[in-house]
Copies of this chain bind each other. A is one copy, B any other.
Amino acid sequence: MSKQLTNKAIFGRRESEARSYCRGFDTVFASAKGAEMIDQSGKRYIDFLAGCSSLNYGHNDPDMKQALIAHIDTDGVAHGLDMHTAVKARFLETFEQHILQPRDMNHRVMFTGPTGANAVEAAMKIARKVTGRSNVICFTNGFHGVTQGALAATGNSYHRGGAGVTLNNVTRMPYDGYLGQSCDTTDFLEAMLRDRSSGMDAPAAILLETVQGEGGLNAASTSWLKRVAELAQEAGALLIIDDIQAGCGRTGSFFSFEEAGISPDIVTLAKSISGFGLPMGLVLVKPEHDIMGPAEHNGTFRGNTHAFVTATVAIEKFWSDDSLQQDILRRSNIISQGLQSLAAMVPEARLKGRGMMQGVDVGCGDLAGKICARAFEQGLIIETSGSEDQVVKILAPLTTTDSMLQRGLSILINAAQDVIGGHKFAAE
């Protein structure tokens, strides 16, 4: 690669207006390691975004890196459609041994196109084929991707508006807490499911995230998740947990639903499953529902071979024992404490999320945006989420050292102080 500094003019000249993160983080990145990204001027940034949870093990993990280089260097297959390859076999064996078997999951693995949206589309197809029904129940503030099938399930009106067509075959229900803490929203779901004149067509699936990453770090309670799982079963619907953002350790366990003790019929994974940030997506499906025909859902890049290499290392390295989970637990507490300090500065601020998927609802998107912008100036990459972008969200690599985590939190808190001084709160 050229050592010459990149001229940003090319982006303005040739990259589509649809580009987005580069607008908030306006520099040119050159390299990245662990929890840090380095731009071409050599400035280092602590990464509290982690590729939107695609880099749970940080950037360029040395073991994955070494395995990937070795694979490439020896002319390992780079693209093999969905043929059998040695590296796919090894990934499956490792995933079976360290992830599925210890959790008593007999799910099959379906490699979809290497995006989360593609995995969600496949999951919805499976549920519709299994049940012969078309309606998928999804939830307020859910985010499942922006291809047309997945987009129907996504709540965000900005993304929905991009479709240019009506988005159908879903029914929207209120997520846990949507109507305040005193209202159990499963009561409404139950009523709609049991009433033959409710107007809700019999569902093929109930599709949800246990923590809504894009939706504002809303975390469903264990009791709510259990009740939804029971209602799905009662209604003859498949339960699909979209664990694309909350899975792969983000909430503390490999799957985000382990704590709730539920057994989803289908699970979608993407983002951090490759371990290295490489495109990869998959669907876990119980054997009795594994009825898609050969290539019925297909795609040229289903099964990214390079990703199998790094994913295998990631699972072996981080999920053979519980040390990472211990780290996550400790770091989650560090984050909670940091965020409490932040929340204390903002009237009516609320802590959101769980595990290493936490944030603070500061009440308005303008303030949250200013805090993140100020933090970036000070060397911290962090973004907002929620329907009004009102939640400052931390998605640091799970492997971020405690000290770097503390440093990042300090930058964030200082940024908030800088901004809040000049901010006029609604209540004032």
Contact = CB atoms under 8 A, between A and B. Distances in A.
Interface stretch (A142-150, A333-341, A404-412): A142-150
A160 interface: yes
A141 interface: yes
A279 B279 contact: yes
Which of A26, A134, A156, A296 has the most C-beta atoms of chain B within 10 angstroms of its own C-beta?
A296
Given A165-B168, A300-B51, A22 B306 contact: no
Given A74-B31, A138-B199, A279-B304, A166 B168 contact: yes
Interface in A100-139: 100, 108-111, 113-118, 121-122, 124-125, 127-129, 133-134, 138-139
A150 to B, nearest CB: 8
Given A96-B14, A197-B157, A31 B76 contact: yes
Interface string A13-24: 111111111110
Given A1-B87, A69-B69, A86-B40, A174 B188 contact: yes
Interface residues of A, number: 162
Copies of this chain held together in the complex: 4
Contacts of A306: 278, 306
Interface string A278-295: 110001010000111111
Given A29-B86, A134-B164, A300 B54 contact: yes
A301 interface: yes
A204 B166 CA distance: 13
A403 interface: no
A255 B367 CA distance: 47
B110 A113 contact: no
Interface in A232-289: 270-271, 276-279, 283, 285
A17 to B, nearest CB: 5
